[in-house]
Amino acid sequence: MDKKLKKFVDPLPILETLKPKRFTKDGPYYEMKMEEFKQKLHRDLPPTRLWGYKRQVPGPTIEVKKGEPIQVKWMNNLPRKHFLPVDKSFHVHDLPEVRTVTHLHGGETTPPSDGYPEAWFTRDFEEVGPFFEQEVYEYPNHQRATMLWYHDHAMGLTRLNNYAGLAGPYIIRDKCEDSLNLPNKEYEIPLIIQDRSFNSDGSLSYPRQPDNAAENLPNPSIVPAFLGDTILVNGKVWPYLEVEPRKYRFRILNASNTRSYQLHLDTGHPFYQIGTDGGLLRRTTTVDKIPMLPSERIDVIIDFSKMKGKEIILKNDLGENASPDDETNEVMKFKVTKSLTGEDTSVIPKILSDFRSLKHNKITSNRVVKLMSSSDEFGRPLLLLNNKKWHDPIEITPQLGSTEVWSFMNTTNFTHPMHIHLIQFQILERQPFDLDRYNEDGQIIFTGAPQPPQPYERGWKDTVAAPAGQMTRVIGKYAPYTGHYVYHCHILEHEDYDMMRPFKVVDRD
């Protein structure tokens, strides 16, 4: 839109916690409808048409206890026609235009509850995909305490359904974390960061075709990436949060389609990072800047105790070559203007948790997954894994309970956030290789020694940054379930076409 939106005029929404519809012998039972509605995203914007879980964007927080299973019925009550541009030129051309399936990102679930891309369903379950098995999803919640997130994962539509609003947080709690005396209750706040663009009437703007599209290109046509010009947190454009002069815990999620962030505070104050995708780190890590690729989460404490009366901006470092007109260098503002309601007895522990390195396990397979760039018959970028498309035969079949090392070999010219379903993994190392030489004759010549993961990513992860010209190695144990799962780039425009592949966990011989 032409008119710039004024920053920091709307308070940060605090997401509500979803209540169970009833309690059953199998645990709390929830229902979550996906519906179209309008929501005001900025003081000066007309209400925006959105799709949301429980008519909210982001959706409400689902909060559970470790070891206590829940059931969720995800219900599609959306229109039968999409309001964003649907490209029907690739492998989804004969499917219903509006279809959904919810994936609990980072969750350890059985295949029928994982949100497999082809387990989609339409309004009122009138039509279902070939992998659809059940209407009610079961989440056992036997994994470590952490913040996961739920979002749409429908085949070929993930980028549009998420952009329309279908995403929300999911928090698992346990007694070990509760005993640490971290900031909690109103002093613990999820921050869901997204980027969007708007038309002058307040509607979402999403391109129908890539810039400088060729004449023969389908219309609409999928774009290779999308960067919005506006930042939202918890469904508000550049909001502010009034805080007390005390410690706060923020669980931050990058829920953008393509955009990565380099988060820092404009005052130079540090983040005390206590966790990542899969839960608490071993030790608290003090960091000044945190990079976040799509779908990554960080768990941090910010200590406002010596900032009374100050205003602090959560910034996004765009780098030296950024345009001066780019407004996305700021995310939100903290105003330390609330009176202290009582003594802050919370702490920032040095020691957080203990977990075993998977390097001590017997490694049954070392797999190389090549991230490759090509083009389709229209000249559009086509990004693939091991040069295979979605419907090609499955070539990765880990045995149940086995430990494998996967090496993401990035032969493209930019970083990809790689996500593996079912498991949380550990990052082993990254090692640079001569990308020009590889693209010339296929030889892999390493140009440096392997580098360990950064301190802020030395916990459990389900999404890893795989930089260009590097071999990124992760180790994971493929359990506790057998069946079909997927791995993919979490840039949603890449995932939809066609940087996603199935794998199958099989029983031991």
**Pair (35, 79) in one structural domain:** yes
**Pair (118, 224) in one structural domain:** no
- Identify whether 351 is part of a domain: no
- Identify whether 9 is part of a domain: no
Mean pLDDT of all residues in 164-182: 97
Q: Which of 151, 175, 199 is the last residue of a domain?
A: 175
Sheet holding 146-152, edge to edge: 62-65, 167-173, 146-152, 102-105
pLDDT digits (tens, 9 = 90+) for 451-501: 999 999 999 999 999 999 999 999 999 999 999 999 999 999 999 999 999
DSSP state letter for 305 = T
**Pair (376, 497) in one structural domain:** yes
Percent over 70 (pLDDT), the chain: 99
Instruction: Specify the residue for token string 């959904």.
Output: 100
**Pair (224, 156) in one structural domain:** no
pLDDT of residue 114: 98
pLDDT over threshold 90, residue 323:
no
pLDDT digits (tens, 9 = 90+) for 393-446: 999 999 999 999 999 999 999 999 999 999 999 999 999 999 999 989 999 999
**Pair (145, 280) in one structural domain:** no
pLDDT of residue 508: 85
Residue 168 tokens read as 């929300």
pLDDT of residue 92: 62
The average confidence (pLDDT) of the chain is: 96
pLDDT digits (tens, 9 = 90+) for 31-44: 999 999 999 999 99
- Please name the residues in contact with 386: beta carbons below 8 A apart, sequence gap of 6 or more: 369, 370, 372, 395, 501
**Pair (198, 323) in one structural domain:** yes
Taking residue 381's Cβ as centre, other Cβ atoms within 10 Å add up to 17
**Pair (171, 258) in one structural domain:** no
Q: Which of 272, 304, 335 is the last residue of a domain?
A: 335
- Please name the residues in contact with 377: beta carbons below 8 A apart, sequence gap of 6 or more: none
Q: Which domain holds residue 121?
A: 22-175
Tally of domains in the chain: 3
pLDDT over threshold 80, residue 91:
no
pLDDT digits (tens, 9 = 90+) for 106-156: 999 999 999 999 999 999 999 999 999 999 999 999 999 999 999 999 999
**Pair (409, 321) in one structural domain:** no
- Identify whether 3 is part of a domain: no
**Pair (29, 166) in one structural domain:** yes
Residue 172: band (very low, low, confident or very high) from pLDDT cuts 50, 70, 90 = very high
- Identify whether 82 is part of a domain: yes
pLDDT digits (tens, 9 = 90+) for 292-317: 999 999 999 999 999 999 999 999 99
List the beta bridge partners of residue 102. Answer: 152
Report the phi/psi class of residue 104: left, alpha or beta, with left for phi > 0 and alpha for psi in -120 to 50.
beta
- Identify whether 344 is part of a domain: no
pLDDT digits (tens, 9 = 90+) for 235-270: 999 999 999 999 999 999 999 999 999 999 999 999
pLDDT of residue 2: 60
List the beta bridge partners of residue 254. Answer: 193
- What is the DSSP code string of 161-214? HHHHT-EEEEEEE-HHHHTT--S-GGGEEEEEEEEE-B-TTS-B---SS-TT--
Q: Which of 284, 301, 335 is the last residue of a domain?
A: 335
- Burial of residue 321 (CB within 10 Å: 0-12, 13-18, 19+) is exposed
Residue 55 tokens read as 């008519």
pLDDT of residue 465: 98
pLDDT of residue 212: 78
**Pair (125, 226) in one structural domain:** no
Three-state DSSP string of 308-371: CCCEEEEEECCCCCCCCCCHHHEEEEEECCCCCCCCCCCCCCCECCCCCCHHHCCEEEEEEEEE
**Pair (432, 329) in one structural domain:** no
Q: CATH number for the domain including 389?
A: 2.60.40.420
pLDDT of residue 483: 98
Residue 509: band (very low, low, confident or very high) from pLDDT cuts 50, 70, 90 = confident
- Identify whether 10 is part of a domain: no
Q: Show the CA angle centred on residue 406, arms to residues 375 and 434, nearest 5°.
A: 60
Q: What predicted TM-score, i.e. pTM, was given to this entire model?
A: 0.97
pLDDT of residue 320: 73
**Pair (145, 89) in one structural domain:** yes
pLDDT of residue 150: 98
Q: Which of 261, 284, 270, 289 is nearest to 465 (CA)?
A: 261
Residue 321: band (very low, low, confident or very high) from pLDDT cuts 50, 70, 90 = confident
- Identify whether 304 is part of a domain: yes
pLDDT of residue 213: 74
- Identify whether 34 is part of a domain: yes
